[in-house]
């Protein structure tokens, strides 16, 4: 072969993979969360207070008819509380975990089911916080419930099963319950969640006036696992 001829067949040059290979929907969700927090940070205290009034989840709104609120906000804030974060550190941690665990879930499900699973997990997390703080004047914000849901949904993918004829599928519920590594991972996640909520090592504590919504973490995690098996194709034996 002449050195001036272009290589052919298997020797043809191929396009290299992208250096930043994150699903577009994951990048878009992170961008929205960052934009909301940055926008409120730049807008100042008045807008920050208004965002808590309009978008944060406050259990007292369900029990105190005279509590200051926009009519109907007690319901839509079960979803919109996920748009707000208490600090840059809170936002950064959520975005990191969203990037790590949201990526495999988005690749498996695609855009629509990824968003549905995230929203469902966050709402379940919000409901858990609502019921455990029923009637209290406490402000609940953060996408942690949705992020924990993505972590839960990633477990069947992380501990999937190789098929006898080749290929791969996610682990079934029964297979997860008998997989020691999956159980250890779940136990560690739950322990860290309860420890962070009880001691406030990430900056707040449910033992103080300000709180990490540890109930939303656990509720979102369970909701994510449930949503995974509802949305995933039926599992086939290995």
Residues paired with residue 168 on neighbouring β-strands, in sequence order: 162
Q: Is residue 12 part of a domain?
A: no
Q: Is residue 6 part of a domain?
A: no
C-alpha distance from residue 125 to each of 3, 78, 130, 162, 173 (Å): 63, 9, 9, 32, 21
For residue 17, is it within any domain? Answer: no
Specify if 185 maps to a domain.
yes
Residue 61 contacts residue 52 (beta carbons within 8 Å): no
Residue 15 lies in a domain: no
HSE toward the beta carbon, residue 106, CA cutoff 13 A? 19
Instruction: Convert the pLDDT of each residue in 127-173 to its tens digit.
Output: 998 988 888 888 889 898 999 999 999 999 999 888 777 678 898 88
Convert the pLDDT of each residue in 51-73 to its tens digit: 999 999 999 998 887 888 888 88
On whether residue 200 sits in a domain, the answer given is yes
Phi first, then psi: give them for residue 140, nearest 5 degrees: -115, 120
85-143 pLDDT, tens digit per residue, is 988 888 998 999 999 999 999 999 999 999 999 999 999 999 998 988 888 888 889 89
Residue 11 falls within a domain, yes or no? no
Give the CATH number of the domain where residue 104 resides. 1.20.1540.10
Looking at the structure of the chain, the number of domains it has is: 1
- Angle between helices 111-132 and 214-231 in degrees, nearest 10: 140
Using an 8 Å Cβ cutoff, are 94 and 142 in contact? yes
Determine the pLDDT at residue 238. 53
* DSSP-assigned states of every residue in 46-60: HHHHHHHHHHSB-GG
Q: What is the pLDDT of residue 210?
A: 39
The pLDDT tens digits for 199-222 are 444 443 333 433 456 778 889 999
Question: Could you tell me the residue range of the domain that residue 197 belongs to?
Answer: 22-231
Query: Is 94 inside a domain boundary?
Result: yes
pLDDT of residue 203: 40
Residue 62 to residues 51, 114, 125, Cα–Cα distance (Å)? 18, 30, 17
């Amino acid at each position: 072969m002449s050195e001036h001829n272009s290589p052919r067949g298997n020797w043809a040059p191929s396009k290299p993979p992208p250096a930043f290979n994150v699903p577009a929907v994951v990048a878009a969700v992170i961008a929205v969360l960052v934009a909301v927090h940055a926008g409120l940070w730049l807008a100042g205290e008045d807008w920050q207070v208004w965002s808590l009034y309009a978008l944060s989840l406050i259990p007292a709104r369900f029990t105190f008819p005279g509590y200051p609120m926009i009519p109907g906000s007690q319901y839509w804030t079960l979803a919109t509380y996920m748009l707000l974060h208490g600090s840059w550190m809170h936002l950064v941690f959520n975005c990191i975990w969203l990037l790590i665990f949201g990526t495999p879930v988005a690749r498996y499900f695609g855009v629509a089911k990824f968003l549905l699973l995230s929203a469902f997990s966050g709402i379940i997390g919000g409901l858990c916080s609502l019921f455990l703080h029923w009637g209290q004047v406490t402000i609940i914000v953060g996408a942690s419930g949705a992020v924990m849901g993505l972590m839960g949904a990633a477990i069947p993918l992380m501990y999937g099963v190789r098929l006898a004829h080749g290929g791969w599928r996610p682990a079934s519920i029964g297979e997860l319950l008998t997989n020691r590594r999956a159980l250890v991972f779940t136990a560690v996640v739950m322990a860290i969640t309860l420890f962070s909520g009880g001691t406030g090592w990430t900056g707040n504590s449910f033992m103080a006036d300000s709180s990490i919504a540890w109930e939303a973490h656990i509720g979102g995690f369970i909701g994510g696992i449930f949503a995974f098996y509802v949305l995933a194709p039926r599992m086939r034996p290995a």
